[in-house]
Structure formats: C-alpha cells, structure tokens
Amino acid sequence: MKVLVPKKSLAETLARVERIVPSRSSNPGLSLLRIDVDEDGMELSGSNMDVDIRARFAVDSPGSASCAVVGHVFSQVVRALPSEDVAIDLGDGEMEISSGTFATRLQLMAPTAAPVLTFPTEHQGALDAGKLERALSAVKYAASVADFQAVFRGVKLELADGRTRSVATDGFRLAYYDLPESSGLAADIIVPARSVEELLRVLGDGEVKLGLEPGQLSVQHGNYALNLKLMDGTFPDYERVIPKRFPVSITLPAAGLAEAVTRAALMADKTTNNRVDLFIKDGEVRITAEGSFGRSQETIPVMQEGTDSEIGVAYNSKYLVDALSRASGDVRLSFSFSGTEAAPSVVTDLSDPSYLAMVVPLKTS
C-alpha cells in the first residue's frame, strides 16, 4: 500500500515525536515508533514511559495499515530525503521509502511490538495554550535536577476554580505563576519537569484540552496528544515560607541587575556557592564578589523603599540570575530578615504581576 506524504509535515512531526521515543532502551519495544495510516491521515506514536505522544497529519493514502519501525532510524532517513515528495510503501515486513533518486527499505515490526498507548477522546478541561506555556516556562527553572529530590523535580499545577498556578522549588529558590483562569479541572498535580519540557515543545496557538485520570494528565493540542505521568508525593507547603514583610525593597531593570550579578560572579568560587553580596544604601546597590583570582564590584542606581540603614545579603549568583531572567522590564527585589539574619528575598515582575520568585540567601555566619 503506497502512501504519499509531504516531507515537511513528516519531518516536523517526527522531530517532536523523536524526542520522546528513546533511541536506546533496555526495553527494545520502547525504541519503536508506531505508524497508523488511514484514508486521510498518518499517526505516529511512541512513549518513554513518562510521556506518551501521538501526532497526526494529512497524507494521501488508499487505505489503512499499521506497523512499527525503529524510531531513530526512520527519523534519520526522513531528514535526509532529497525531495519534498515522499512515497511510503508499506509491504510485508518491509517499508520502502522513496523520494527523488533515492529509495530505502526499512524492516518493519508488528504494530503490537510498540508500546500499547491509549489517549482519551474526551477532555474535561481546557486552557489557552499560550497562557499555559507562559505559566510553565516561567517556573520550571526552579525545579531540582538532583535525582534524590523527588517531588522537587516536578512542577506543581494547582488547578482551581478561577485560578491556575504553576509552582516549582528545589528548596533553595521557588517560582510561581498565577493565571486568573479556570481550567475546568480541580486538582493539585505534580508533573515531572522533564515532561513539562516536552509539553512546552508542542504548545502553540489556540486551545489546549486537558484531562485527568488517576496518575496521568492528558493533553490534546493541535495535531498532538500527550499523556504525562504524574509524580506521587506531597509538595511542600511553600506559601508558609514566602515572607510577607519587607523592611527594604529596590526597583530596577531586571536585565541590568542580572548582567551586573553575572559579571561580578566571575570572581566567585564554586566552593562558596558562587557567592555574590548585595549592599543597599542611599539609592544604590553595590554588588561584590571575591575568590582566589581576585575581587569585583559594581554599583548601580536603584529606586529604594524602606529603611535607610545599609543592608547586605549574600546569594548564590546563579539562583538570583535565574529568578531575574524570567522577568522583563523592571523588577522589585524585596529583602526580608529574621532578626539580623537575611531571610528569603522575593522578586516580582512589575510588568507581569502573575510571576513571583523567591531566593533563599546564603548563610554567611
């Protein structure tokens, strides 16, 4: 059975599906991509156990067929095809792909050799895809990458009536983003940050449909359907640790502060957690860092509110820069204290009040 496929659709779709389907796996079935064709479309599907993906696009086909191929081999061949016109001939145990002067025959596996995936056809919830994209991409940097940190490696989604919030924290910094929108779902769920990454790659314009089943968030958007396995465990009660009272706060362009901190931190050592110190006084912030090669300082003007006496706070420069880099325009950086000790600082984006980031200072005594 010969199917005519536009190379562009096939290659673009495969580029996303290929990211999920592992090229090596101790379970050889996982490296297979399932292909289902019917009269008006081709479906590609695969899974890495954490994320199932299915993508559909239009083809010119005389009938229906199903098969499985080794995903990364099929992808490599498709990328290299010389012509925009591609014919895929699904035969007995072999697929012939021809394009221009080139032809290749790939071994086929039975479709049942690939993971058996089911995607819901009905979804209870929905959100604007662009807004969900913003909420997830604004916070995922704050999730942990350390294997032992369990739920800290996920992004929590609080799906409530009239409010959708994304939150991530690794215990040293935290970020949340509030959408004043109902998703139609009511639950608190934790999605692995890596799966969030894959979801972000398929989100474009329009609506994203959301469905919840035990242990799984199902997403349908455009030509893509994804099942994201959820994380077990309890997310920390983070609201409790976000300070509410700030004796001092400063307002300045986020980019300017991030660049100055990055520059100063070149002198900081890894052994001191990339420590930079911020000193606030008389409408200026002085940023200093030192290490075995020397020391740096930079002073920039700020709008200062609160007490007049000089304050000093030390941070892991990377955490402060991460928190700032998600803001555009001006930010307010607010300092809290517990007695004379610096307590967590809070970054708010003046042009987007949905975003809040918290950074825990370094202990200096």
Per-residue contact string for residues 270-289; x = within reach of its own copies by CB under 8 A: --------------------
End-to-end CA gap in the chain: 74
Closest CA to 326 of 300, 303, 357: 357
CB of residue 171 vs its own copies: minimum separation in angstroms? 29
CB of residue 263 vs its own copies: minimum separation in angstroms? 4
316 binds its own copies (CB under 8 A): no
Lookup: tokens for 289: 């860092």
Whose structure tokens read 């994804």?
A: 226
CB of residue 35 vs its own copies: minimum separation in angstroms? 15
- The span of 133-141, 260-268, 308-316, 351-359 binding its own copies (CB under 8 A) equals 260-268
Distance CA 287, CA 325 (A): 17
Distance CA 228, CA 131 (A): 19
Whose structure tokens read 């096939």?
A: 10
CB of residue 360 vs its own copies: minimum separation in angstroms? 26
Whose structure tokens read 């930010």?
A: 331
216 binds its own copies (CB under 8 A): no
Positions in 136-175 near its own copies (CB under 8 A): none
Positions in 49-78 near its own copies (CB under 8 A): 70, 73, 76-77
Select from 36, 259, 269, 352 the one that contacts its own copies (CB under 8 A).
259
Q: Between 251 and 297, name the residue whose CB sits nearer to its own copies.
A: 297
Strand partners, 291: 294
* Strand arrangement of the beta sheet that strand 65-70 belongs to: 65-70, 32-38, 41-47, 51-57, 224-229, 216-221, 207-213, 125-128
Residues binding its own copies: what is the number (CB under 8 A)? Answer: 30
* Contact footprint for its own copies (CB under 8 A): 70, 73, 76-77, 80-82, 94, 101-107, 259-260, 262-264, 266-267, 293-300
